[in-house]
Structure 1
């Protein structure tokens, strides 16, 4: 149970009245009150009919203090009404409970009864009624209060209302627009800071992802250019391979395998060309000499003669 509920229960005066309107039990013994019949009162008639009832501010019969009276039926095991329970709450108790509800630094909470008087006045400077304020006028028309307005004290505030007790009591909350603006800008600053932090994190993550994508692609492009220039010994390093995503690791492995194949084929081609040149040179030597004596033959003599003739000319 909250402190406000405990305060309310311990400061209220409760009585039990039978179905004929006479007092059966009272927390405070009062012989005069036990002789009174309240059957003609509104709170008794409403409760004996099975309804709860709450009055506006009225005077207590004995001490004439301002109180709020409430009543409810008492049901027996046969679901019949045997009487009613009546409670009275002193006005200062309601004020204490309402004023414990804080609305920031400049906020105020007001409760008005059916006579539209403010029940939560803390001192003489508090408004007696809110009937001239915009929020009260909107409340009477059951329209939402969307804009700021000037309250009973002349301050610019933001307010909202809530009808309670079947539309008989009105609860109004107000807060100075300056505090609202401070809270707004503070919230905006916090949200902006969170968004900036998220943006920075996203930027770093995206940058890392781009690096993991662009860097291995650049290495592949660089390797293709090197291969096109004829350097078949080029390989993508193991460091680049290890720092790449799995998909690019497969591409790097394929590239290195292709480079090894080209290097191997290029080496075989060079070796074959070398052997072919050597074979051609050997065949040329054989075609210009006698196979038995090794002395130049007629073809050799004709070629030397033609070359000498061209040189002398």
Structure 2
């Protein structure tokens, strides 16, 4: 042993001191890494939890706003204002088929009794519910988790007051959302073996099922843990705590929906540090292996690893900047270990799939899958901005609302499959007749919309007449079935924004005016174009 520690040749001494230097360096790095990375892992995981919570908060807040807007739009429908109950029921049922967010839609009269319900649960009194009194005061509302009187299951109720044509309060509309609807959204964030995201109401009752609770539908129990207490006092503590299972976890929270809901994200402390232990094992193994290799081998190995890793890191930075299709030149990895070559191939495959996935996500967010036209969400989110830009440039703009006449008869006679094909047929007409500055969209059901940028009332009216004639001249024909089609069209135009007008609501106002003209076209016999005489914001 002493002889070994006192080498006689320079070669031996060089190897010994290099080995000792690598050993000491490896031990120092491992110890420092363990101490520092333990803290970094915790901070990074809490940051990741916070990022996911913020992203999910934006989605849920938008989801709540959209459901509230759905109820308000229903409350403004002519069938609701005129208390046309058969038509209300038909509209409600069609909507629940097309829009599966709501499990049921109901109309409640001024006495608090349901008169129209898509689940046939009429005659139910709800006048003791908070949303009834909110509607009586003219307010839309969203309930906490309650047990539905008709379904007997925990639900969330969206409500909006209704008024007749003279502005008198006639009751309210209710939209029931089962917890499974929002469950799919929140649970999508769960990853790994222990990551758990769930939603609580303000008193701690689960809105969505925590990952490790079997069932909350029959008897949702209140959850009271350290994270709920922190949320109650807005604490920013980052210490680990015991979750509802009693496991030690790190967690973060976010209040949403006006402090009505609490979104919680948790990850097990054990799982979090398991990655550190595995990584430490790898570091120690690398250190011991390095002692066996010669100095020249270390230099060659580090060169062959360092350069490819730089390209991988550069590639991840490029993807982070949004260039999802970036690929790494495989020639760079020609002399790299096989694992890194496989990593390069995997990276390039991941990049290609990521680009395709992002493209599909972007398209699904703005394209109606049935007709391949823009959807209503795209028009409401982007149409107003494009409309204002055109008006600022001094160009007139118009909106056309297009409804297929007697479309319900098509579904009743030929079935919904043929009905879908008829919708695609009419969408094809719109695609051929529009383009450039005319944006065609499926607005809902059998109703379409065209936003004609830089077209005034005269030009847009001509476009509308062309669409009407083309639809009438091109019936749907397939497999021995021939269906003559006509459309009713209502239009509204705008040449400028009035002083004091709300620019954010301009498109909604034009749609409202166009809807009035469409209603008039139907009343006057259908298969015609009607134009609103007083376009909103017309300068």
TM-score bracket relative to the smaller structure? 0.3 to 0.5
User: Which has the higher Rg, Structure 1 or Structure 2?
Assistant: 1
TM-score calculated relative to the size of structure 1: 0.47
